Every structure is written in structure tokens, then in C-alpha cells.
Chain A
Amino acid sequence: MCTQSAPDADVDGTAAAPGRRPWEERLLDGGREPDPRFTLANERTFLAWIRTSLALLAGGVAVEAFAGEMFPPTVRFTLGALLLVVGALLALGAGVRWLRVERAMRNARPLPLPLVVPVLAGAVVVGTVVLLAATIARMG
């Protein structure tokens, strides 16, 4: 909603939703409720990130469990642990991003850049390089 003027929770009486506690107001950084469709879109984006994170967790357990003789145990173990850690970081990042987008929308600020994307891209690159190196070392 670019047309919203910068609201002031103290001056603008409509900003606070009825029955919202002060700390809840602080968590959401005041402002006013954006277009509900944007709130829902933000929720869906968060859920998409959570599913990505869950896929990484499932992948971490699977690599550790089912990779069999394909990779040496150390590689399997490292890769599994890495995927689990990145999955947890991604879930945390998704939550933080949801909150930052929500706060930006409520105050008609520009939306924050998705900092989670470089984290995920970096992790996938590291994982692939590790796997590739291990496979080549095994073959050589």
C-alpha cells in the first residue's frame, strides 16, 4: 500500500486494533493494518519458506540415513548436520522476515530485502561442492 501516509499510533486513534495489548503493538511496530490481502500474502510467503526449511530437514535426515555406500560416513554425517543447521536457520530467518515485512507494511515503508536468499544459496553451493569433492576423491 504505497498510498498510505506515515501513520502515528499515538495521534491516529484508528491505528491500534481493539483489544490489542501494548507489547503486541510494540512487536508489530505500531502503524495500521495494511490491506488484508498483503497480510495473507506475507503469511503464505512465510509458509513457503517453512516448507523449504522442512525439506532441508528431511533431506538432512535422509542423507544421513539412506545414502548408503555412496558417500563415506564422514561426508554423510557432515552433510546431514549441515542440512539440519541450515534448515533451522532458514526457519528462524523466515520468522524474522515475516515480522520485518509485517512491520514495513504497517508503516508503509519499503519492504526489506530477502536476506534469507543468499544464506540458502550459499548453503546449497557449499553442500554441492562438498559432495562433488567427496565423490571425486572417492573415484580418484
Chain B
Amino acid sequence: MPPRLPGIPLPRPAAPGGHADPGLQPERTVLSWDRTVLALHVTALMFVRWYSEVGVWAFAPAALAALVGAVIMLGQRRRYGRQSSGITVKRVRPAWRTVAGMVAFVVALSCLGLTAMAALLASGAPL
């Protein structure tokens, strides 16, 4: 056994929450959520384009996206842990709540955009 150098920790066994999946599924899934949150912010910030027409309300989608994004990002650690231990016990409960919430948010964003366009059309402002 080599002499133990001060300050260098001994190798530790895998954390109890670790998984044995070489496909790194939990990591890929959590990263996928990360990318989705990024896309969410980009899309929501596009709505700032209506700033000159509706003022600060143009930031409403961005604020909403910040909220939804925060909820998703704050849950990432827990999500990874659940998926990781789920692979170990061979049971992961499908995250239907998050899926449904995501669909609802994207549809709401689309409706907001259509409403803004319809309002613009109705106001008779030059397109």
C-alpha cells in the first residue's frame, strides 16, 4: 500500500444512491430537461418583441418561464436521485405531472402569441 499523502483523500466506495447503468440514463434525462429549460427561456424572451405595443406585459411570458424553469431546475437533483435509485430497484414512476405541466405551459405560450397577434390585427396597427 502506497504511503498516504496528506490532503489526498482515499478512494471512496460508490455513493449509496449511485446506479449501475452504463447508458447513463439519469444523466442524459436530466440534461434533456436542462436543454428544454434553455429552449423555454429563448422562446419566452422572443415575446419581448411586443414591448413597444404592450409595455412591460411583454415580459410576462419570460417571467412565467423563469418560474417554470426554476421549478424544473430546483427539482433536478431530486429527479436525478429518483431516477438513479429507480434504475437500481428496477422501478421508475413515470413523471406524468411534469410532462402534463410542460405541455400546458407550451400550449399557453402559443395561445399568448396568437392572442397578441390577434390583438395587434384588431387594433388596426400597421403589421
Contact = CB atoms under 8 A, between A and B. Distances in A.
Given A36-B91, A81-B114, A61 B47 contact: yes
Q: Which applies to chain A's interface (DSSP): helix, strand, loop or mixed? A: helix
Contact of A28 (B49, B96, B114, B121): B96
A58 B43 contact: yes
A51 interface: yes
A11 interface: no
Q: Which applies to chain B's interface (DSSP): helix, strand, loop or mixed? A: helix
A91 B107 contact: yes
Interface string A58-92: 10111011100000011011001100110110011
A115 B75 CA distance: 31
B40 interface: yes
Interface stretch (B1-9, B10-18, B30-38): B30-38
Interface residues of B, number: 42
B49 A65 contact: yes
Contact of A54 (B39, B83, B90): B39
B73 interface: no
B113 A94 contact: no
A64 B29 CA distance: 33
19 contacts: A17-B91, A36-B25, A36-B86, A36-B92, A40-B28, A40-B29, A40-B83, A43-B32, A47-B32, A47-B33, A47-B35, A48-B32, A55-B43, A57-B106, A66-B49, A84-B114, A88-B110, A91-B110, A92-B107
Interface of A: 17, 20, 24, 27-28, 33, 35-37, 39-44, 46-48, 50-51, 53-55, 57-58, 60-62, 64-66, 73-74, 76-77, 80-81, 84-85, 87-88, 91-92, 94-95, 98-99, 102
Interface of B: 21, 23, 25-26, 28-29, 32-33, 35-36, 39-40, 42-43, 46-47, 49, 83, 86-87, 90-96, 99-100, 102-103, 106-107, 109-111, 113-114, 117, 121, 126-127
